[in-house]
Amino acid sequence: MTTTATRKRRPTAPVAVPQPPANDLDELVHYSPEEVYARGWLPIKPRTLRDKANLRQIPHSRAGGRISFTLRHIRETAAMYEVRPIGETKPAA
């Protein structure tokens, strides 16, 4: 009889998801790449967020000459990296 080793799973920290705004002004708040990463809204390092924004690969704002993100930008970026199960994809024409 053989025994199989089981891997211990590490507990994962809860991910902070941008919540719907309490009022219309909350949608206008701009967050720096460091704030977006620190709050856990996107698992992308601040340097990579800046690089992708400079290459215009992700939505962002350049208010005041600095790269920043609104909640809408964060949601759009997260949706860009979403992968659907193979059964939900459309067959190629």
Residue 72's closest CA among 39, 14, 22, 29?
29
Residue 50 neighbours by CB under 8 Å, 6+ apart: 33, 67
Token representation of residue 6: 């089981």
What pLDDT is stored for residue 84 in this prediction? Answer: 86
Q: What is the C-alpha to C-alpha distance for residues 14 and 90, in angstroms, rounded to an integer? A: 33
Residue ranges covered by each domain of the chain: 29-82
Residue with more model confidence, 51 or 23 = 51
Read off the pLDDT of each residue in 28-38 and give the average, rounded to a whole number: 95
What pLDDT is stored for residue 87 in this prediction? Answer: 83
